[in-house]
Structure 1
Amino acid sequence: MITPVRKLSEPLAHDDIILISVLKNAERYLPSFLAHYRSLGVKRFAFVDDRSNDDTRALLLAAPDADIYESNVDYRGASGGLVWRDLLVDRYGQDRWYVSIDCDEYLVFPGSEKRTLMDFIADIESEGLKRALAVMIDIYPDAKLSDAPQHRPPDASPTVVCPLYDAEGYTIANEKFCTAIRGGPRRRMFGTDMRMTKFPVIFVDRKTRFNSGSDHGPLPIQRNYSAVHAVLLHYKFSADSIKEFRTMYEWGTHFDGGRFYKEILDHAAFGETMDFRYAQSTAFVDSEKLVAAGFIQDLRDRPAA
């Protein structure tokens, strides 16, 4: 179950966008995360705080647009947070659009620098879709980790300190849970072949369930096959990665006991002198460049019927 720590009293309109997220010790992400999604038009944040022991709770309490919940079970006991996402949806209602996201993921869609989530949702609805497929692009520093900048203005984009991403080396295929993309620096450097797609913008109706599906493919599965319409800039590899990966593995609550973090921690390439840069490292500029590079399909450019 989840219990409200603070629930705001202001009512929400049916077309107000609610962002649901599960977090733990997210103080270094929250200011920029909140600023990013407010700029896209999110009206209410609903967080499940999984026993944070840093300044996460204080930052959430200071946010005037955030509802805060806690639970009697941990992340693993909640099926990797999927049960919590369903419980949040139960509280805020069906037949509406949600953003379902992790706090180290920054959504980019065609024209997102000037357009809102409601504009993007109109694009998705015009195609008869009920969710938007996004590819997760790991961003990393333009330096060795030991030389990478560790500080940025609290509400600044993580691309200030991690401006680069892999411009090639991805594969795409229809798999069990969804259209899946694999690749990026985690495969290039460590050989881990994780699924790099999610559905961060999703219309929730009575058929929608996060639990019993996958973090990368909610139920019903038949809605999970489409072109890629958005990018999640994934703020995973930074100057803080050495400490953070060890902590997450020690928690042991992530998928398969944190196997992803263990594989990287045990890899010979992982360490303070690690350098993610290679010939095809590219600096993030904006959504237009991602569209031009073929990462995203811009539905505004589809041929007229």
Structure 2
Amino acid sequence: MSNPTFSWRVDEDAPLLLRTFLREKKQVSKRLLAAVKFKGGLLRVNEMEATVRHVVKTGDLVTMVLPPESPSLSLQPEQLLFGIPYEDEHLLVADKPGHMATIPSRDRPGGSLANGVLHYYKQQHLQATFHAVNRLDRGTSGLLIVAKHRYAHDLLSRLQQQGGVKRCYKALVTGVLSEKAGIINAPIGRKPGSIIEREVGPGGKSAITHYKVEAESKTHSLVSLQLETGRTHQIRVHFAYIGHPLVGDGLYGDHDEALAHQALHCDRVALTHPFTDEVLYVEKSLPKEWRPFVEGMHPIH
């Protein structure tokens, strides 16, 4: 399969350096531009090979060919079960099962979404590595955006940093919340003596979680969530802090054996597609493992 290729007409603010056109007009990162220059990519102006110092004029046709990509030798393709509710030539949205990590670790070099995506790429004859735009903890299920080439990863990462990628979550929490909607604004930092656990404390970084109770029983609540910040374990730490840890979250206070991991699910993602300018909206229903908890709940209006 040929390397991803992009072409544009120079239509304003010309003449200018090709480097300036790509960096400022097309948001090509400095790192990606260096890869195009030195790792097998190609730049052309009006079908002629050009350097970044070439001066482009109004009406010129600029083409950028990305360099070939090869995954790390430590990241091996594996045939794994996960869903792909949306895909195009630039990105896919994966439905990550809760038991699966996003990327492998030293202790668990296989079985991650990254391993599964690489196997899928191999089946599709797509020469690409794994570019996660967002990540979900092991134990958190749901929608995760994966860029299919480096330029898409650059643009989507920038969009996310600017708040242009909206992700919504659902959580099953223990107990009944007295306030059915609200904002948890409590700083989060690393817990002393632990490399994994986080806690609310005055020395932590700002962390803001918006929540709304959608349904509840006498013992549990189904909560919809949106993050204003993205701290490690933010939702889990915030709900443990207010006395309602997530169901199945042994790290932060609940040891319900009915679930093997924390009951947290990314159920919606929305963004303006960086290549088409269309609004992309993807939704995924709750995991079936939650049914015993949810079926007996009554809705909160």
Give yes or no for TM over 0.5.
Answer: no
Structure ID, larger Rg: 2
Greater fraction strand: 2
**Bigger relative contact order, structure 1 or 2 (CA pairs below 8 A, ≥6 apart):** 1
TM superposition score normalised by structure 2: 0.29
Greater fraction helix: 1
